[in-house]
Amino acid sequence: MLLLLAASPPRATAQTGDQSFVESLRREDPATAERYVSLRDARARAAEEFQRAEAQYRAAGPALRTLVLPQVRQAQRKYAESSLALIEFLDGHDREALARYQSEIGRINGLLEERARTRADLQKLLRE
C-alpha cells in the first residue's frame, strides 16, 4: 500500500510560523537553526520526490507499474527517513526547552515560597 501525500500548497500562516521558529532558533543558536533548516529542506525535497514517483506510478499503465514501484518505495523510504530525522530534532529541541522551563518554574516557586515566608514574618510583626 502506498502512502499518499496531500498536494495542497503550504499555507501562509504555516510559513510565517516556520519563519518565526527559525528566527527564534537563530537567536538561541545559529548552528541549531541551520540544522533545522537543513532537515526541513531535506524533508521537503523528499516529499516532492515522493509525489513525483507517485505521479509516475499513477500515470504508468498496469503493465509498467511493477517497473515504477521500486522507485516509489525508495522515495517513500527517503521521505519517512527525512521525516523521522526532523521529528527527532524537534523532540530534542522541545525536551531541552521543557527542561529549561521546569528549571525556571522551580526557581520561581522558590521565590514565591521565600516571599510567603517573608510575608508571614512581616504580618507577624504587624500583629505584635
pLDDT tens per residue across span 87-121: 999 999 999 999 999 999 999 999 999 999 999 99
Residue 82 domain boundaries: 21-127
Is 106 contained in some domain? yes
pLDDT (tens digit per residue) in 20-61: 999 999 999 999 999 999 999 999 999 999 999 999 999 998
- Give one DSSP letter per residue of 56-101, joined into a string: HHHHS-HHHHHHHHHHHHHHHHHHHHHHHHHHHHHHHHHHHHHHHH
Is 11 contained in some domain? no
Tally of domains within the chain:
1
Do 75 and 45 form a contact (C-beta atoms < 8 A)?
Answer: no
Is 16 contained in some domain? no
Is 5 contained in some domain? no
Instruction: Please give the pLDDT value at position 39.
Output: 98
What span, in angstroms and rounded, lies between the C-alpha atoms of 75 and 110? 52
Is 6 contained in some domain? no
